Amino acid sequence: MLETIKPPIDVPRAHLDPITTLSEKLAVFSLALMRPLRHETIVLCCDATQRGVGIFAFDTKLKITEIIDRIIGSAINIESVATISLCTSRAGGGPLATDKSQFSAAKTRCQNAGIALTDWFLVARGDVQVLN
């Protein structure tokens, strides 16, 4: 199991259980992340009641603002998507100085598409950070 995120004891069930806390979101992301860590971004899509309706994985080194259109294009095809949360792994690399502005720009792009971007996690070896 990924050393940074403990194995989940209780994972929310898709379409049934609301995913409202950071620990519930991390439980879902911990099952989706590739091991060993590599450059990827996982997107958790939820409906208006915060129930999971889809997960997308983007295997890329691009900045979040460079892949946000792909994320929106994929999520918008699922009719019930109201919110998304992101989890990025940089294969051991930590936060970048541009992450805050990247999140702000991504949040605006999502808002313009009618989707709320709620959280952005960064997973690196030995650390999980919330980049909101």
38-95 pLDDT per residue, tens: 899 999 999 999 999 999 999 988 889 889 999 898 888 888 999 999 999 987 678 8
What is the extent of the structural domain holding 117? 37-130
**Residue 73: Cβ-neighbour burial (10 angstroms; 0-12, 13-18, 19+):** exposed
Q: What is the CATH number of the domain that holds 89?
A: 3.40.140.10
pLDDT at position 96 over 60:
yes
Q: What is the pLDDT of residue 42?
A: 95
* Residue 16 is assigned to a structural domain of this protein: no
* Residue 14 is assigned to a structural domain of this protein: no
Angle at 128 (CA atoms; ends 32, 14), nearest 5 degrees = 30
- Average pLDDT for the chain: 87
Look at the chain and report how many structural domains it folds into.
Answer: 1
* Residue 5 is assigned to a structural domain of this protein: no
